[in-house]
Structure 1
Amino acid sequence: METDQYLDMFLDESREHLQAVNDHILELEKQPDNIDLVNEIFRSAHTLKGMAATMGFEDIASLTHKMENVLDGIRNYKLKVTTEVIDVIFIAIEYLEDMIESIADGNDGKKDVTELVARLDMIENGKSINSDGNNEGEEVAATLEAQSIAKLELDEFQLEIVQQAKELDIDAYQLTVSLEDECILKGARAYMVFDVLEKSGDVIKTSPAVEDIEDGNFDESFSFIYVSSEPPENLQEQILKVSEVKNVEVVRFVVDNNSPQKEKETIDKVEKKAEMKSNKKTKDDKSEASHHGSKTIRVNLERIDDLLNIFEEVIIDRGRLEVISEEFGNQELTETVEHLGRVTSEMQSLILSMRMVPIEQVFNRFPRMIRGLARDLNKKINLEIIGAETELDRTVIDEIGDPLVHLIRNSIDHGIELPEVREQAGKSEEGHLTLRAYHSGNHVFIEIEDDGAGINRERVQAKAIDKGLISAEEAELLSDDEIANFILSSGFSTADQISDISGRGVGLDVVKSKMEALGGEISIKTEKGKGSIFSIQLPLTLSIIATLLVKVKQETYAIPLSSIIETVLLEDDQILSAHGRKVMDFRGQVVPLVSLAEVFEVPSEEETNEKYHAVVVVKKGEMLTGLIVDSFIGQKEVVLKSLGSYLKDVFAISGATILGDGEVALIIDPNALIK
């Protein structure tokens, strides 16, 4: 079978399944008795194994098969979840991730997994469950399997039913129901037992035969094989409600699997299993699967980019049509252009949303990394993720992963203290690390906050003075946060020795450079003994933005609406002076004023003596600035075009756009003007 055409789909789905395994394993470590989590992990591993085998990637199929065996042992209560099991599965995930990325790079995805497979074999064969645990279902199965209950024999057809149920995460049990000695109507009681269980599963085989059980032709007990997604303790509880039932023994039915399982499955069989699985789901799950599965397709990102580029031309032409309709004054033309405007606005939102992905795609990689670092450093760290659903442009998502990794490693290594040090400082042993993401205007903010020791002002200040970044006199005038931001300077480090994990300050200039290259910024807030917050501000990188067009002399500029608080008209006597700068009183707050004509050195042919000054009040965080312009033109949706590599560093200009009359207007970056 030619598999090249399915490669992209295989890579995408493999990454999704590995991420699902990663997330569920982290949860399983906290809830080792949660068999539902084990079933979820098993399902992902099983699917990945089938896909890899079909595509011919034998090393991936072999490794996932061994993982599957260990997980099967856990969910059948033969093994229990230990730190060793979690560690080995994490190593297996890392191996699989490496192999998947190798395939994505055009290689064969081969990797020496012999040692890891051997470790999984040891776990599979050498670990037995300890039935002293607290999980009730675990106790039921473990205790009853130890009893001498004769195992019912199944024919080939019945075994196939059990195997298929197992692949759908539906368990098979052997139940033995004992009635009271004085029970007279044994057949009626047996019928009531089967009636109770009918809603929760299916009976595969009985002993004695069904006819004998219904006629009461058995001693005090009868047995049967039953497939159900219900936990064993629930089955016991349901049956014991039937009167004159003395005892119920539940044993998980395990199929002897001496024959090697086929690694490569035909497409027909895979489709048959998928159809069975969908039929077995509950109505709610089926509805949700139908909604998400049948109406979702994978689209190459380049196609969306091409669509967006074409649509940008439509926006420019729409602006041109609006100008023409105003000139002609034709009612029908005006109405048609207005309708076109509404439709294109909806199209714009739709196309841009197609490029947006939740930031959890980046955040999801961190819990496992933090777990490993905490163990390596003998620290206790609780990770909290807030706002993982926050959406960001795909191109930005692909670039911010490594900088965030560096900042997180920094916080864990040098921010959060050792448990004993924290106790001496009156803190809890467990350090708290928060990853937070949220939208604000046309930007996304990402914060890495720790409750560690904070950044030592004295050491950073001494180093900054030593490197000649500031003088001792200037340093005394700066706040702790301003001093802390020096660690973002090139080559700046206060570490006594270089750590293989990180060194606070080592490489942070690279993080800063990366953020600036993405059109973002990074800042630091710190409090000694309390912790630090590294805050990253990133643009959404939307190509079509809503702006306010303003006139400065003969030039037209566009200011993004997301940054604008208000527009005001000031008289001459309302423009004040403070510390040699022009300011205004904005509702009791002193706001600095910046003249765009002066900033951009806009030439003027004649002097104007206007009585009023038009001011656009813009905001960045908590800081406000008033931009002085000549006049307001009005709101307009414009296409943001890059100025190209030769003009990429123009101060306070983020791009340009073509207006409806063919004029080119520069788009202002208000953040650069707010200081």
Structure 2
Amino acid sequence: MDINQYLDMFIEESKEHLQACNEQLLALESNPDDLAIVNEIFRAAHTLKGMSATMGYEDIADLTHKMENVLDAIRNSKIGVTTEILDVVFEAVDDLELMVLDIEAGGDGKKDVSKLVDTLNRIEAGQPLDLVEKPAATTEESAKEVITSGGLHYDEFELTVISQSSEQGFNALEVTVQLRDDCLLKVARVFMAFEILEKSGEVIKTVPTVEKLENEEFDQNFTIVLLTHEDAEELKAKVMKVSEIEDVHITYITDEYVQRYQRTEHEDSVDQQANPQAQNILPPKAEKGKVTPKEAGKAKKSSPSTSNKTIRVNIDRLDILMNLFEELVIDRGRLQSIASELHNPELNESVERMTRVSGDLQNIILNMRMVPVETVFNRFPKMVRQLARDLDKKINLEIIGAETELDRTVIDEIGDPLVHLIRNALDHGIESPEDRIAKGKPEEGTVTLRAYHSGNHVFIELEDDGAGVNRERVVGKAIEKGIVTEEAAATLSNKQVAELILASGFSTAASITDVSGRGVGLDVVKNTIESLGGHISIDSTEGKGSLFQVQLPLTLSIISVMLVELDQEIYAIPLSSIIETAIIQKSDILNAHNQPVVDFRGTIVPLVDLKEIFEMDNSTSENDDFQSIVIVRKGESLAGLVVDSFIGQQEIVLKSLGNYLQSVFAISGATILGNGQVALIVDCNALIK
């Protein structure tokens, strides 16, 4: 069998399991006594080990096995969780990530980790603890609440759902409800119990069937199999509130129980009851997870064929699909242009319908390419932990809105700029614990990373409660570097001073370290974000903290623009940058500091003549009494772009100018219009200084 066909799947799933290990290790450091977290890490490592062995990557499998041994010793209370032990396990995960990346790049995934293996072996064997089992009283107390299985029969699909849900951290429970002998409205009590349980999770099986329960074809007992995050005690207390219920018995169904049940079914080849001694292998509390089991439950209610709601698609295929659709958008524009010239009703009707259908198709394709920003955010908690240790600071990272979605092309580019911003916040923003206490602040600094949608943009904000931007130091360094003059510096607002740190080569660090001091970082952030059609702004209060706000477009491939005319040539201005279009009298144009300006709703806005920028003949419009302008914005800065006339709004496909025309000023790309003409796209960010 050729296993290379599974290589892409192996790489993607390995990354997911390693990311899960990182997240759970961070959680374990905060909750060292929570063995449920250890079980989650063990499960991810165990799965990775099996996958690696199957694919023939023995080095990954061996290292994962050693890491498993340490985790197994922790969950069996042979060793305790310490920061030093977690550092070694983190190092093992890092090496595993490097091995997987090597395989992704075409390598063999081999790496010399002998020293790390020795360390893991010493951790496993060097700190023996008394192998004392839990007190019998605890076991007996648990046994009162967690009784043996009620003898239910499970088919293969039900066992699969239970097993997969357990892997995702859910409790699989058999909830047996016993009604009082004098209960008159049994169906009503069944309904009330169902309502409580369905609010707590997903019902995947009932005994007897729902139809028999509705027809009162049962005695005083009925059983519901439930997938939930809640504990047995919580559920029992809720259900017992229903009147005329005598008692509630709850059984936990674990992986070992399912496996034993499956072995029994296979060996006997007949329907048999579940093992009556299940309580001896069922833990009093199952692991908790974060993923809801709704889909699994719904799939069971319909049919096995509907259980799989998602598929993995190679991103290259989506890129090809997007490129084909971009060509379709160009042809759509061409058809619209022809239809408007011919005035044929039937043709117009067909074009309108094609426009609607292609618009729906466009939304579907764009949504397929959308990826949650958590794919980028997930790497930061571990990075912050290590940096905080290196800088000897106490820092808490809060992540908000990780489910916010962005186009994959934007996601691919935004990771490194965010790394620079976080490193800057940790090194320059957050003070040392001693300084924070002296200032009356908590010794632990807080860095908040949040993402949210607003209109056709995604905003990513990084906020810290640190020292803020020191105006005196920044201005002094900017004057020293020749970025601003002393006269200009005196007129700058605090916000403008804060944004000086985005200049190339700027750094206020006293010395060069591994974290900062070379003046490389924030200028890269600014350039990268602006190359994506975005914008970064800084709002800082000295002594209280800073807020870095990054504004990004939802997608880079298909954008809405305003088409304008300049000397019989067509240019496109992105709608995301436009505030308003206007036609003004030339007599309203004023001069300030040798710069033409206009009063726009009480704000003085400088005018930029695009013909001068693009070195065009400007004589054709000199005798006109009126002037067409487009008011555009970059952050809080405004500018009025002077054009000959407006053509209209249109969706266009953004095309690169290629490697030879990368340095063209104020042009970010080009597009092909419906008539086959090429229109250049104006880069508003470059025009506003």
The answer to whether TM tops 0.5 is: yes
Q: Find the residue that maps to 2:278 and give its secondary structure.
A: strand
Is this contact kept in 2: 1:576–1:583, CA < 8 A? yes
Q: After superposition, where does 1:95-110 map in structure 2 within 5 Å?
A: 95-110=95-110
CA distance in 2, matches of 1:483, 1:453: 15
Match of 1:654 in 2: 668
Match of 2:196 in 1: none
Is this contact kept in 2: 1:202–1:227, CA < 8 A? no
Matched, 1:570 2:561: no
- 1:411 pairs with one of 417, 425, 428: 425
Match of 2:11 in 1: 11
Question: What is the identity, as a one-letter code, of the residue corresponding to 2:658?
Answer: G
Matched, 1:360 2:388: no
Match of 2:447 in 1: 433
* Residue segments in structure 2 that go unaligned for 5+ positions in a row: 145-162, 173-246, 258-274, 287-291
Per-residue deviation, 1:230: 6.9
Match of 2:284 in 1: 232
- TM-score, normalised with respect to structure 2: 0.73
In structure 2, do the counterparts of structure 1 residues 381 and 398 end up closer, same or farther at CA, with 3 Å as the change threshold? Answer: same
Match of 1:121 in 2: 121
Per-residue deviation, 1:434: 1.9
Q: After superposition, where does 1:384-533 map in structure 2 within 5 Å?
A: 384-440=398-454, 443-503=457-517, 505-518=519-532, 520-533=534-547
* Fraction of identical pairs, as percent: 60
CA distance in 2, matches of 1:398, 1:303: 16
**1:221-272: CA deviation from partner (whole Å, max 9, x where unpaired):** xx973259975279xxxxxxxxxxxxxxxxxxxxxxxxxxxxxxxxxxxxxx
Question: What is the identity, as a one-letter code, of the residue corresponding to 1:591?
Answer: V
Is this contact kept in 1: 2:530–2:685, CA < 8 A? no
Per-residue deviation, 1:46: 1.5
Is this contact kept in 2: 1:415–1:453, CA < 8 A? yes
* Residue segments in structure 1 that go unaligned for 5+ positions in a row: 145-162, 173-194, 206-222, 235-277
Per-residue deviation, 1:415: 2.2
Match of 1:257 in 2: none
Q: Find the residue that maps to 1:232 and give its secondary structure.
A: coil
**1:138-159: CA deviation from partner (whole Å, max 9, x where unpaired):** 89899x9xxxxxxxxxxxxxxx
Question: What is the identity, as a one-letter code, of the residue corresponding to 1:656?
Answer: A
**1:609-664: CA deviation from partner (whole Å, max 9, x where unpaired):** 54543333333333333333333222211111222222222222222222212222
Per-residue deviation, 1:16: 0.8
Match of 1:341 in 2: 355
- 1:322 pairs with one of 336, 339, 360: 336
Q: After superposition, where does 1:174-193 map in structure 2 within 5 Å?
A: none
Per-residue deviation, 1:429: 0.6
Q: Find the residue that maps to 1:346 and give its secondary structure.
A: helix
**Stretch of structure 1 that moved more, 381-390 or 398-407:** 398-407
**1:552-579: CA deviation from partner (whole Å, max 9, x where unpaired):** 3312222222222333333445444545
Match of 1:301 in 2: 315
In structure 2, do the counterparts of structure 1 residues 646 and 539 end up closer, same or farther at CA, with 3 Å as the change threshold? Answer: farther
**1:424-477: CA deviation from partner (whole Å, max 9, x where unpaired):** 112111111122334455554433332222333333333333333333333323
Per-residue deviation, 1:380: 0.8
Is this contact kept in 1: 2:654–2:670, CA < 8 A? yes
Match of 2:199 in 1: none
Per-residue deviation, 1:585: 3.9
Is this contact kept in 2: 1:70–1:123, CA < 8 A? yes
In structure 2, do the counterparts of structure 1 residues 111 and 227 end up closer, same or farther at CA, with 3 Å as the change threshold? Answer: farther
Q: Find the residue that maps to 1:671 and give its secondary structure.
A: helix
Question: What is the identity, as a one-letter code, of the residue corresponding to 1:63?
Answer: L
Match of 1:47 in 2: 47
CA distance in 1, matches of 2:249, 2:639: 71
CA distance in 2, matches of 1:169, 1:538: 35
Match of 1:616 in 2: 630
CA distance in 1, matches of 2:562, 2:164: 63
CA distance in 2, matches of 1:140, 1:403: 56
Q: Find the residue that maps to 1:119 and give its secondary structure.
A: helix
Is this contact kept in 1: 2:401–2:452, CA < 8 A? yes
**Stretch of structure 1 that moved more, 520-529 or 368-377:** 520-529
- TM-score, normalised with respect to structure 1: 0.74
Match of 1:92 in 2: 92
Match of 1:371 in 2: 385
- 2:574 pairs with one of 547, 560, 567: 560
Question: What is the identity, as a one-letter code, of the residue corresponding to 1:340?
Answer: M
Is this contact kept in 1: 2:535–2:634, CA < 8 A? no
Is this contact kept in 2: 1:77–1:141, CA < 8 A? no
Matched, 1:112 2:112: yes
CA distance in 1, matches of 2:255, 2:40: 25
Question: What is the identity, as a one-letter code, of the residue corresponding to 2:100?
Answer: I
Question: What is the identity, as a one-letter code, of the residue corresponding to 2:633?
Answer: K
Is this contact kept in 2: 1:137–1:231, CA < 8 A? no
CA distance in 2, matches of 1:650, 1:589: 31
Is this contact kept in 2: 1:323–1:661, CA < 8 A? yes
**1:280-314: CA deviation from partner (whole Å, max 9, x where unpaired):** 99736968998997232322222222222222221
Is this contact kept in 1: 2:612–2:618, CA < 8 A? no
Per-residue deviation, 1:514: 4.3
Per-residue deviation, 1:400: 3.3
Per-residue deviation, 1:502: 2.2
In structure 2, do the counterparts of structure 1 residues 167 and 657 end up closer, same or farther at CA, with 3 Å as the change threshold? Answer: closer
In structure 2, do the counterparts of structure 1 residues 502 and 81 end up closer, same or farther at CA, with 3 Å as the change threshold? Answer: same
Per-residue deviation, 1:332: 1.4
Per-residue deviation, 1:120: 3.2
**Stretch of structure 1 that moved more, 582-591 or 44-53:** 582-591
In structure 2, do the counterparts of structure 1 residues 203 and 611 end up closer, same or farther at CA, with 3 Å as the change threshold? Answer: closer
CA distance in 2, matches of 1:228, 1:280: 30
In structure 2, do the counterparts of structure 1 residues 317 and 603 end up closer, same or farther at CA, with 3 Å as the change threshold? Answer: same
CA distance in 2, matches of 1:509, 1:465: 17
Q: Find the residue that maps to 2:616 and give its secondary structure.
A: coil
Match of 1:255 in 2: none
CA distance in 2, matches of 1:106, 1:332: 55
Question: What is the identity, as a one-letter code, of the residue corresponding to 2:370?
Answer: M
**1:173-209: CA deviation from partner (whole Å, max 9, x where unpaired):** xxxxxxxxxxxxxxxxxxxxxx96575449999xxxx
